[in-house]
Amino acid sequence: MKKSIFLPILFVLLSFASVSPVALAQGESSSGDLACPENFTGDVLTEWRKSAVGKAVNGEYGKVKSALKTCFPNGAPACTQDLDYYVKLKSNRPQIANGSDSYGDSVEELNVAPAEGYILESEKDLPKEFLVKDSNGRVKPGFVKFPDDVLKVAKDKGWKAVGYKTRGTGGFDSAPNLSIVAIPGREKDIFLQISPPPDRNRRETRDNPYPASKDFTHGQDTLTIISVDKTKKPPVAQLRLLRYDDQSGGYKWHSGTRTESCTQCHTTPLRSISPRGYLVTNGTEQRMKPEDERMVTEINDMMLVPGLTWGKAKATDGSEIRRGPRDEVQPYGWAPPGSRTRKPDFLKACATTNTQQSYQSLDRDYTFQTTMSDPTKINHRKVGQTMNCVQCHDGSVRGYLHENFSFDEIKFKILVDRSMPPGLSLTMDERMALVNCLQAEFQELRNEWKKKAPWLTRGGCEDMPTAGRAGSGSGSGSPQNNQQGSQ
């Protein structure tokens, strides 16, 4: 009799021990599902998010999605919104989440409109000077052009404009000559750029900062328009590529906005221009005129829009999809605190892995080469200090230098126009060491980036108001115990 009573009691005790909170990590249930947090203080939410992120990076998107829905029926806390978006995208739209380097590529295939609406509805939203007129002076609907004598018109109107020869890759006609107009506004800014034809004697004029013809009005096949809506929180930019129409004598307007492969060269929709001879010179390159350098600086300053995004696309089912690079792609210049990649031994080893560096623009009109001169004079401490690219390129102030961003463009900024990194003066050998070590660090930390998933843990969690919590708030059961919440 005593034995038969003792066994059930022992069984109950063992069962209780198996689900004791002491034996489980915060946010984890005995079944392996994601339990709701025990309370909704910032510290507990931060620990819960850590458990949720661990499951998400292991591919358990459904469990995390279900837990977010159950534990926070009135909306996920701000510190989990990146996680909420990520698991929903992975669960609901894997072809977008996994199918390309940029979400934008796959979003374009959906043929959907921007969720924010069009910043420019038609060509009529441009200043009248950009409209095409027939021989009788009547506007031709649906067409755009650069005004005659565009630099004078821009000056009279208070716009910013310059014609120049680029060091890098500007425009979509792969031409070295470019003409840009920046139109500032209280609520929106507009940037328009064309590629005037290349110089006939390109070899002789290569070092001159200006196109030989000085015709900055007539371009080749493509007019690039980037419009910025500064009233949105965060600000949004939209890109249009208009193609030249011979019969109309202008560029044909269309409403489609693009992202496509732009993210390979642009961390954000706007990227500062780098004319030949601007601020620094290489080889026999000639310096720009001071007044033109000031104009370029003003245009580049206009392009520094904190938090600027590619916006979102609205799918036919009503869901919104962020345009731009995939969230989980590893950026250059990221390392966890105390990383071995910022220690002297690693820096000394990576600094000289490549003692020669070169850069060439897409049209091969501009080339740059350099050789390390004296590695013994490299200040490895300074190199390590300048490797923290994500301090500025953090996805909010400036875009991430993400995995699919062309490393040639990083080399360009560090070695060729030397606008990066800001703040510290580096010798060319130290700049070469920086390029080498950024590449070495990127490879060294691949697994740590994926494991720590910093793209899902931006910002700390704060105490959550009662209104956003699940019914009981106890968090003692698994998500299946509470079926409240929206999809």
Q: Mind listing the pLDDT tens digit for each residue in 412-470?
A: 999 999 999 988 899 999 999 999 999 999 999 999 999 999 989 988 899 887 645 55
Spatial distance between the Cα atoms of 461 and 51, rounded to a whole number of angstroms: 14
Which of the residue ranges 23-27, 112-116, 199-203, 263-267 would you say has the lowest mean pLDDT? 23-27
Q: For 251-309, what is the HEC assignment?
A: EECCCCCECHHHHHCCCCCCCCCCECCCCCCCCCCCCCCHHHHHHHHHHHHHCCCCCCE
Quote the DSSP letter at residue 36.
P
Mean pLDDT of 271-300: 96
Chain centre distance of CA 459: 18
Positive or negative, the CA dihedral 466, 470, 472, 473 is negative
The model's confidence at residue 96, banded by pLDDT at 50, 70 and 90, is: low
Q: How big is the CA angle at 98 (ends 92 and 100), to the nearest 5 degrees?
A: 125
For residue 450, the one-letter residue type is: K
Positive or negative, the CA dihedral 305, 299, 402, 106 is positive
Quote the DSSP letter at residue 198.
P
Residue 366 in tokens: 């501009």
* 200 within 8 A of 212, measured Cβ to Cβ: yes
SS3 403: coil
Q: Which of 220, 259, 262 has its CA nearest to residue 243?
A: 220
At 402 the pLDDT is 86
Spatial distance between the Cα atoms of 119 and 229, rounded to a whole number of angstroms: 6
Mean pLDDT of the chain: 84
At 17 the pLDDT is 37
Chain centre distance of CA 78: 21
pTM as predicted? 0.84
Q: Which of 142, 164, 161, 143 has its CA nearest to residue 152?
A: 161
Q: Which of 14, 28, 38 has its CA nearest to residue 60?
A: 28
Which of the residue ranges 61-65, 295-299, 317-321, 409-413 would you say has the lowest mean pLDDT? 317-321
Chain centre distance of CA 450: 18
Residue 117 in tokens: 């609406």
- List Cβ neighbours of 290 (8 Å cut-off, separation of 6 or more): none
The model's confidence at residue 195, banded by pLDDT at 50, 70 and 90, is: very high
The model's confidence at residue 112, banded by pLDDT at 50, 70 and 90, is: low
Q: How big is the CA angle at 231 (ends 225 and 234), to the nearest 5 degrees?
A: 85
SS3 316: coil
* 262 within 8 A of 289, measured Cβ to Cβ: no
- How do residues 343-391 score in pLDDT, each as one tens digit? 999 999 999 999 999 999 888 889 999 999 999 999 999 999 999 999 9
Mean pLDDT of 16-23: 34
SS3 164: strand
Spatial distance between the Cα atoms of 26 and 72, rounded to a whole number of angstroms: 16
Spatial distance between the Cα atoms of 415 and 428, rounded to a whole number of angstroms: 7
At 171 the pLDDT is 64
SS3 41: coil
For residue 397, the one-letter residue type is: V
At 97 the pLDDT is 53
Mean pLDDT of 462-483: 47
pLDDT top residue among 96 and 114 = 114
Start-to-end CA span in the chain (Å): 54
Mean pLDDT of 398-406: 83
Spatial distance between the Cα atoms of 270 and 159, rounded to a whole number of angstroms: 17
Spatial distance between the Cα atoms of 72 and 79, rounded to a whole number of angstroms: 12
**Phi then psi dihedrals of residue 415, to 5 deg:** -100, -40
* 164 within 8 A of 285, measured Cβ to Cβ: no
At 311 the pLDDT is 86
Whether the predicted pLDDT of 477 surpasses 80 = no
What share of the chain has pLDDT > 90, as a percent? 60
**Phi then psi dihedrals of residue 358, to 5 deg:** -145, 160
At 222 the pLDDT is 92
At 326 the pLDDT is 78
Spatial distance between the Cα atoms of 400 and 101, rounded to a whole number of angstroms: 14
pLDDT top residue among 210 and 480 = 210
- How do residues 42-84 score in pLDDT, each as one tens digit? 999 999 999 999 999 999 999 999 999 999 998 889 999 999 9
